[in-house]
Amino acid sequence: MTSELMDAAAAGTWRLGDRVVNRMGFGTMRLTANPDTSVAIRVLRRAVELGVDHFDTAAFYCSPGGIIDVGPGPVRYATELIRAALGSYRHRVLLATKVGPMLLPDGRWSAADSPELLRGQVVENLRRLGVEALDLVNLRITRNVAVPLAERFGALAEMRSEGLIRHLGLSNAALGDLNEAERIAPVAGVQNAYSLGVRGDEELLRVCGERGIAFVPFFAIAGARREAGVALPSDPDLRREAEVLRVAARHGVSEHQVRLAWTLHQGPHVLAIPGTGDVAHLEQNVAAAALRLSETDLADLGRPLTPDDASE
């Protein structure tokens, strides 16, 4: 695709809370992987130049190698990279963050399963981002914890009433979770794993559209490999690889761009947040906002799988 097509606005817009944003956004999970933080800062600023105005992050996105250096002091968290890169663009972008999982000092993961711990994560987000209120906070739902969902989401709703949070959302949610949360406070978005190969909850996607709630898939490219990165040809969720490659060849684009375009074709309320730590990959991802799949393309990508697909 040519450079003039690299514009996040090409995918259209959706109202997320009280803001209209371009449906092609950016996820920051991978930004802390590179110890050279100048690269991450270039990626973030280039994303804004390309029209991205919806950035997704989390209280627990941090460098796996420990503290890294950026300018005046040590940085470990994606939120601090965002503050360093986007401070002057703050009025132009919506920052969505997540709370729930927490990294303990000894390196183990736990769950912020109490109102007190969730408040602590919100306060840390505010401090690291350097803002007085968070645009959107998604509660990452952890199962098998003692504190009921209503109490955890209610704690965030209380912080919303205090003016610390503008809008609330859910992550890793089921339809029952959405129904329960909406009885407490408005839900602006649902962020779940969803991709061409790993479909997830189709009913939840449909209900979100009916209720005017943004549906924000993560791992739209990586699929079942999740944090491990882009899927490999041997992975089960790539059994459609032959169809993906055929569609990509028709349009002269990459298979990853086809997967992102397919995601955006799932409804006007569906937002994409592909993440990368590379400027060239960012530009390719944003270019997928302009890719229009035909009915034939969508039919090929959505056809039922057969046992023979495993060997294609």
Residue positions annotated with a catalytic role: 61
Partners of 14 in beta bridges: 21
Please state whether 308 falls in left (phi above 0), alpha (psi between -120 and 50) or beta.
alpha
CA distance 113 to 99: 10
Query: Is the separation of the CB atoms in 54 and 81 below 8 Å?
Result: no
* CB-based burial label for 177 (10 Å; 0-12, 13-18, 19+): buried
